[in-house]
Amino acid sequence: MARVVVSWSSPRRRFELSAPAEIHDLEAARSQLRQGMLLCALLPFDGAERISAAVGFPRSVSSVVDPAEQRAPAEVRHLGSSTGRGAFQAAIHEAISRIEDGSIEKVVLARHVDLTSSEPWAVRDVLARLRSRGRTARFSYSQGNHTIIGASPELLVSHDGTEICSVPLAGSRARPPRPADRSNTINALERSAKDNHEHQVVVDAVHETLRPLGPVRQRRGVVQTTDSLHLMTELRVRPVAPVRSLDVARRLHPTPAICGTPRSAAKDLLRELEDRDRGYFSGVVGWEAADGTGEWWLVIRSAELAGRSATASAGVGIVRGSDPAAELAETDHKLRPMLRALGVSDIPSLDRRTEEP
């Protein structure tokens, strides 16, 4: 059985961990935890994929990548999507129709871009090219030639031993390169009724889950990532009773930030409108220590690598007032950082595929 290798870099800690085997039962994984060890895990969006966990002693590093050592990206010989731009917009139109008839309040649709390269992807090189800014978790979780890799801006939950913190994001704009334009865009985002509604749906769900732990404090703001601006709310609570970080993450997941609301109706609609199972995209990745502290981030701004194949994914929240063309454009700028890391300079029309010779 192939080893599990994890590279992790977040504002809280940086480490690499190698474990001899993958574990599919979280309680079995927890039973192996000892002082100084970490449980790393990858949870799928839904139950179609298995939970993957690994336990071992982390090795602290100053950086999970060395940009000086990275090689040029492999040549991308195929770029395409099983769902073209027109089909994705049609799915958005259908989602809006369901929202307007009252059957659902919000749904988050996923878009996937498939790539084939001239040689197998080098995980460390892709991670080195994956630019990020702000509070971001850069990670790779590998077993054999299969890797989930990303730079997630969304903290599902962290536990430092004193406080639980969750920072949901929802409501987005492309991040303009010029500071003056950026300021105007932030102001427009903060005033947008549509984006504030999309955001509040998520905040309400997270607050409702955290409320039994103790009094919840909130702080609102805007987060800037490499290519995007997001409305964010930081929710903090001091638990009145002991709780483990991963248990809180599993109660929260999936939030309306990556699924929708009501949750069951959103899942039903996603099974109808999306062209494939999401696997680990929009799942959860992170670590937990023996004392229950840890941090768990959403698997977004991410890709799945397997030999010479890769799939980059992005999601977009649909609510009343959503514009299909604008939502499609939002997936474009969310995909760009990962596609650049994979060697694609920009996103062509995916209805015109670049075929492998």
342 secondary structure, DSSP code:
T
Q: Which of 176, 174, 159, 314 lies closest to 238, judged by CA? A: 159
Query: What is the pLDDT, as a whole number, of residue 72?
Result: 66
> Is residue 267 flagged as an active site residue?
no
Q: Which of 27, 49, 94, 106 is catalytic?
A: 106
Q: Which of 352, 332, 330, 328 lies closest to 91, judged by CA? A: 328
Domain residue limits, the chain: 4-63+75-341
The Cα-based distances of 224 to 173, 227, 276, 285, 339 in angstroms read 10, 8, 30, 21, 19
Query: What is the pLDDT, as a whole number, of residue 347?
Result: 63
Cβ atoms of residues 54 and 20 within 8 Å: no
Buried-exposed string 231-246: b where 16+ CB fall within 10 A, e elsewhere: bbbbbbbeeeeebbbb
DSSP per-residue string spanning 240-293:
SS---HHHHHHHHPSPTTTSEESHHHHHHHHHHH-SS--TTTTSEEEEEETTS-
Query: What is the pLDDT, as a whole number, of residue 323?
Result: 95
Low-confidence ranges of the chain (pLDDT < 50): 349-357
Q: Which of 295, 172, 178 lies closest to 232, judged by CA? A: 172
Query: What is the pLDDT, as a whole number, of residue 249?
Result: 98
Token look-up 């649909």 returns 318
Q: Which of 22, 105, 154, 198 is catalytic?
A: 154
Helix axes of 85-100 and 324-341: crossing angle, nearest 10 degrees: 130
pTM exceeds 0.85 for this model: yes
Cβ atoms of residues 122 and 211 within 8 Å: no
Fold of the domain spanning 4-63+75-341: Anthranilate synthase (3.60.120)
Q: Which residues contact 103 (CB under 8 A, 6 or more apart)?
A: 265
Query: What is the pLDDT, as a whole number, of residue 199?
Result: 97
Query: What is the pLDDT, as a whole number, of residue 351?
Result: 46
